[in-house]
Amino acid sequence: MMWPWKRETKQIEPRMAASTKVLELNTAKEILAEIFHIRPADVEEMIQLRLEERDLGEQEEPWPAISSLGE
């Protein structure tokens, strides 16, 4: 048995610093999962579908690029 003060010390490795946006996103996902009583994978799917819907909406042009007045 070694005396506690004679044990070899180990250095603690620093964790990679995560950006605050990543932490906020993960927290929001956890909150959504708790509120809707769903799995985290379902939250990911909801977010992905919402992003796809938004991207599709931005691709549509509100007015036709070429219009004719009936020549």
The pLDDT value recorded for residue 69 is 62
Whole-number CA gyration radius for the chain: 26
pLDDT at 19: 84
Residue ranges of domains in the chain: 20-58
- The pLDDT of residue 33 is 92
Residues of the chain with pLDDT under 70: 1-7, 9, 12-17, 58-71
Q: How many helices (H) and strands (E) does the chain have?
A: 2, 0
Position 22 scores a pLDDT of 87
The pLDDT, as a whole number, for residue 56 is 78
pLDDT of residue 31: 93
